[in-house]
Structure formats: C-alpha cells, structure tokens
C-alpha cells in the first residue's frame, strides 16, 4: 500500500475502453475539420520559454510548466541570485523551455517561422495535449487535449461564421445539445470607453463574466472593489440588464457605445455575423452574451464559448479572434480566428449522457479458440483471410482451458468466437458462436467471412 506506483496529480492513464471512446471523439472532430478544408499540423510538446511567457497574462505565466535546463545548471547561476531566493528571477536562469500551455501560441510561432512556405489564408487543425500547472478539480486536469481549428491571414467574418458551423456540426454528430455564446471584445472595449474606464477593460470584463454565477450586486461590488468609479458602474447597469432578441440587444447597446469607434465597429461586426447565421439551419442555439469575457488577453474581436445544455460542466469549446498574435513574433498585421474543443469535457458530457455509440466500442470482431497445434495450423490461414478482408480477428495464443478463452472473449466484448476442433477439420468447416445470442453455426471459410463482414 505504502509504495503503490502513481502518476502526477492531474494526469490520467487511459484504458483500452477509454481510448476507444476518446478516439471516437477525436475522429468525429477531425472528420468535420477536414470537411471544411482544414489541414493538420503538430508542434513539439516543449517550446522555448521566451515563446510562451507573457502571452497568457500574469496568471498564465504562473501556470506554465517549466523544464529544468540540462547539465550543471546551478553552478552557472551567480551566488547573489541564489542568496536572493527570488523564484521568478532564478527561473530565467534555470529554465529555458516549457511545456505548451495551449495550441494557439505555438501555432502563431509556427506561422511566423514558416511564413514563406504557407499560403494564406492558412486553415489548420491541431489535436495535441497541453499542460497547465493549476490545481486539478472537477473537469480540470494538468494534462489535457485540445482540438484547435484556426484560420490565419483573413479578416473576413465568414471565418467566424464557418467556425460556428463547425461547432454545430461537431456537436450534432456527437449528439450533444449546445448553446454557443458569442460576444465581441470590441463591444467590451466600447463599453469600457463609454463609461470612462477605457483602461480597465480587463477588470470590468472579468467581473461581468461572473454575472450569472454571483449576481448583479456582487458584480457591482467587485468592480468598485477593483477601483472602478461608482458613476461608471452606474452607467454600466443598463448593459448588464439587457433583455430581448439579439437584434434588440444590439440596438440597446448601440445607444450606449455607438459613439465610440471600437464600439460601433464591434456592433457592426456582430450584426454581420448574426446576419449570416440567421440564414443557416443550425441545430445549436446561438446567442449574444455580453457577460462572456474569456480570460485570454490576446482576443480582439469575436469571442466564442460553447456550453452543454444538458450537463453542467465548464465550457466544452471556446475561442475567438486575435488580430495581432503573430505581431509578438515579428509578423504584424496578420489576423487569426479559431476555436478549441476540450476533449476531456466532451468525454465527460458523453459519459454522463451515456451517448457513446455502442459500435464504436468493438475492437476485435472474432476470436479463434485455440485447441492445440494441429488446430492452430488449420485456423491460421483462415485467420489471415479474415484480416485481409478487413475483419479484426485474433487467435488465443495458447491452448488454455475453454473457460479461460471464452472468458477472455467475453471481457474483451468480442462478438464472435470461432471453434475448430477435430469435427470441424474433418468437415473443412468452422463453428461460429454468436456471443450475445449464444447461437452457433457450422460454416466454411467463405461463409465465415461473409457473416463477419
């Protein structure tokens, strides 16, 4: 007990049964991505810390996993720094690499680094794990997979619309009822400007973000506590209490922020987007939600968040437009927009809804029971034929007791067991047992392939 092996906090192993289900999710998502013309890329698990630092805000920097330099890293550090015991400063001396925190920043780095080979607009998808050093809790892990789709090098709002279609398509296929919440950073900036607190947009949005969680009064209190003036908070009230259709909401907001340049632009963008979306037959609900803020600071235009309607869990997909992410790497004026599907949360939703298709759980279709050397020799060529025909099949590798072999098939949920002993060999046939119904049939090799296909 005392020395059971373990894995780091917030990480998980995936059993065969879990992998089958995870692959079902990944495959569904990939299929949809390809349908819209996106191409895959992969980037390394680790990036230079200089690439990662400062992109996710102060909070994000703290959550980066840093990789210790190799070799005798400590003796190169000046004694003075060791004595100071300032972790932040020391870190830059001890670590030059870190594990990726998301897929968007490495993607931006990739684009800048390979710009001469990429033809824009560049539509890529990327499905890989990311790592965050925060405390695990429900639906939160330290290692988890993101499934990103981004278009970079195009300002068109058509891209935003297409992303909503992708979201709709993916969750339709996965049979998850969703609501897509959309907001726009320009509107948020407009609001901040209109109430005379342009510099405090982040604080304001972070507070507004909690509206449905802690209520209006507490949100107001938090803003005041953060140093927002009371008159500004007062001006904000009509926006926090918005009601009605998207159209009506936009009209109301326009009255408050239409004067500001960013605000007007944000409103116009939203009008265009919702105009497109209205004419598409989407299953998912799409709504304008001003309380949607999203943490990552690099967003500049539309922001998205998708929630399950039936299962309460954090957002299962999110993203937005970032106008100048590549600028940090020396390639200005390239706009991108993308969303990220959270595979683990989608998994949790599907588990709770029991919505995994049963066919997807099968790995082996048929098992040959092993009776001994002579019988092995008889089965092997037919086994090869089955595989050639695309049927997943295996033979039990030793002539163990029947019970053991049957139990093996049962546990592995193999639907068919094939028996071939003296009688079958003599008749040049095989006995096939349907493990669910218990029925048995005596068939020749061709019939066998037919029934298993």
Partner RNA sequence: GUGGUUGUAGUUCAGUUGGUUAGAACGCCGGAUUGUGGUUCCGGAGGUCGUGGGUUCAAAUCCCAUCAUCCACCCCA
Q: Which residues are annotated as a binding site for L-histidine?
A: 102-104, 132, 146, 150, 294, 298-299
Shortest distance, position 365 Cβ to RNA, whole Å: 14
Shortest distance, position 422 Cβ to RNA, whole Å: 5
Shortest distance, position 331 Cβ to RNA, whole Å: 23
> What DSSP character marks residue 72?
S
Q: Which is nearer to RNA, 243 or 439 (CB)?
A: 439
Shortest distance, position 37 Cβ to RNA, whole Å: 23
Residues that bind RNA (CB under 7 A): 1-2, 6, 9-10, 57, 59-60, 63, 102, 132, 134-142, 144, 146, 206, 210, 213-214, 294-296, 314-318, 340, 342, 344-345, 371, 401-404, 406-407, 409-411, 417, 419-424, 431, 433, 435-436, 438, 440
Whole-number CA gyration radius for the chain = 28
Nearby residues of 21 by Cβ (< 8 Å), 6 or more positions away: 347, 350, 356, 360, 361
Shortest distance, position 141 Cβ to RNA, whole Å: 4
Asked if residues 416 and 434 have their Cβ atoms less than 8 Å apart, the reply is yes
Q: Which is nearer to RNA, 214 or 280 (CB)?
A: 214
Shortest distance, position 408 Cβ to RNA, whole Å: 8
Asked if residues 189 and 262 have their Cβ atoms less than 8 Å apart, the reply is yes
- Please list the residues that pair with 149 across neighbouring strands: 125, 339
How many Å apart are CA 349 and CA 175, to the nearest integer? 10
Q: What are the backbone angles phi and psi of residue 107, rounded to the nearest 5°?
A: -65, -45
> What DSSP character marks residue 369?
P
Shortest distance, position 341 Cβ to RNA, whole Å: 8
Q: Which is nearer to RNA, 316 or 350 (CB)?
A: 316
Q: Which is nearer to RNA, 214 or 380 (CB)?
A: 214
How many Å apart are CA 307 and CA 293, to the nearest integer? 14
Q: Which is nearer to RNA, 134 or 278 (CB)?
A: 134
- Number of Cβ atoms within 10 Å of the Cβ of 246: 18
- For residue 308, give both structure tokens: 């399950």
| Annotated binding-site members | 102-104, 132, 146, 150, 294, 298-299
Q: Which is nearer to RNA, 267 or 319 (CB)?
A: 319
Shortest distance, position 403 Cβ to RNA, whole Å: 4
Q: Which is nearer to RNA, 223 or 334 (CB)?
A: 223
Work out the burial of residue 268: count CB atoms within 10 Å of its CB; fewer than 13 is exposed, 13-18 middle, 19 or more buried: middle
Could you tell me whether strands 336-342 and 317-322 are parallel, antiparallel, or unpaired per DSSP bridges?
antiparallel
How many Å apart are CA 311 and CA 307, to the nearest integer? 9
Q: Which is nearer to RNA, 254 or 342 (CB)?
A: 342
Nearby residues of 420 by Cβ (< 8 Å), 6 or more positions away: 368, 369, 371, 375, 378, 379, 430, 431
Asked if residues 42 and 128 have their Cβ atoms less than 8 Å apart, the reply is yes
Asked if residues 305 and 345 have their Cβ atoms less than 8 Å apart, the reply is no
Q: Which is nearer to RNA, 3 or 70 (CB)?
A: 3
How many Å apart are CA 383 and CA 130, to the nearest integer? 41
Q: Which is nearer to RNA, 219 or 393 (CB)?
A: 219
- For residue 21, give both structure tokens: 């289900």
- For residue 155, give both structure tokens: 């300002």
Cα 380 to Cα 179, 374, 377, 400, 445: the distances in Å are 53, 10, 6, 17, 12
Cα 69 to Cα 88, 366, 430: the distances in Å are 15, 50, 61
Shortest distance, position 432 Cβ to RNA, whole Å: 10
Helix (H) / strand (E) containing 386: helix 373-388
Shortest distance, position 55 Cβ to RNA, whole Å: 11
């Amino acid at each position: 007990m005392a020395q059971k092996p373990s894995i780091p906090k917030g990480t998980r192993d995936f059993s065969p049964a879990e992998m089958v289900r995870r692959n079902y999710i990944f495959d569904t998502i990939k299929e949809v991505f390809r349908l819209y013309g996106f191409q895959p890329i992969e980037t390394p698990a680790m990036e230079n810390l200089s690439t990662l630092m400062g992109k996710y805000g102060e909070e994000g920097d703290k959550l980066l996993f840093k990789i210790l330099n190799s070799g005798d890293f400590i003796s190169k550090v000046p004694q003075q720094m060791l004595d100071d015991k300032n972790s932040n400063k020391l870190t830059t001396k001890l670590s030059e690499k870190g594990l990726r925190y998301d897929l968007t920043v490495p993607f931006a780095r990739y684009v800048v680094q390979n710009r001469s080979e990429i033809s824009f607009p560049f539509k890529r998808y990327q499905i890989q794990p990311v790592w965050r050093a925060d405390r695990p809790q429900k639906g939160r892990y330290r290692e988890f997979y993101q499934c990103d789709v981004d278009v970079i090098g195009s300002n068109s709002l058509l891209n935003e619309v297409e992303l909503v279609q992708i979201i709709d398509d993916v969750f339709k296929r996965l049979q998850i009822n969703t609501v897509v919440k959309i907001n726009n950073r320009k509107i948020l900036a407009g609001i901040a400007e209109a109430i005379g607190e342009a510099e405090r947009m982040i604080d304001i949005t972070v507070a507004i973000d909690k509206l449905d969680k802690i209520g209006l009064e507490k949100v107001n209190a938090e803003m005041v506590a953060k140093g927002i003036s009371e008159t500004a908070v007062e001006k904000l009230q009509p926006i926090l209490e918005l009601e009605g259709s998207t159209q009506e909401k936009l009209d109301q907001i326009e009255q408050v922020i239409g004067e500001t340049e960013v605000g007007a632009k944000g409103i116009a963008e939203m009008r265009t987007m919702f105009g497109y979306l209205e004419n598409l037959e989407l299953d998912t609900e799409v709504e304008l939600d001003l309380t949607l803020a999203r943490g990552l600071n690099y967003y500049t235009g539309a922001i998205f968040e998708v929630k399950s309607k039936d299962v309460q869990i954090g957002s299962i997909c999110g993203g937005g437009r970032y106008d100048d992410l590549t600028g940090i790497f020396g390639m200005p004026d390239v706009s991108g927009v993308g969303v990220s599907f959270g595979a683990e949360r989608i998994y949790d939703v599907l588990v709770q809804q029991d919505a995994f298709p049963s066919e997807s759980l099968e790995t082996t279709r048929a098992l040959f029971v092993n009776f001994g050397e002579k019988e092995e020799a008889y089965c092997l060529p037919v086994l090869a034929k089955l595989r050639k025909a695309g049927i997943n099949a295996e033979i039990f590798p030793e002539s163990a007791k029947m019970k053991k072999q049957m139990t093996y098939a049962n546990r592995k949920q193999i639907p068919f067991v094939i028996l071939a002993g003296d009688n079958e060999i003599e008749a040049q046939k095989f006995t096939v047992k349907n493990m669910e119904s218990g029925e048995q049939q005596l068939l020749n090799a061709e019939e066998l392939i037919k029934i298993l296909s």
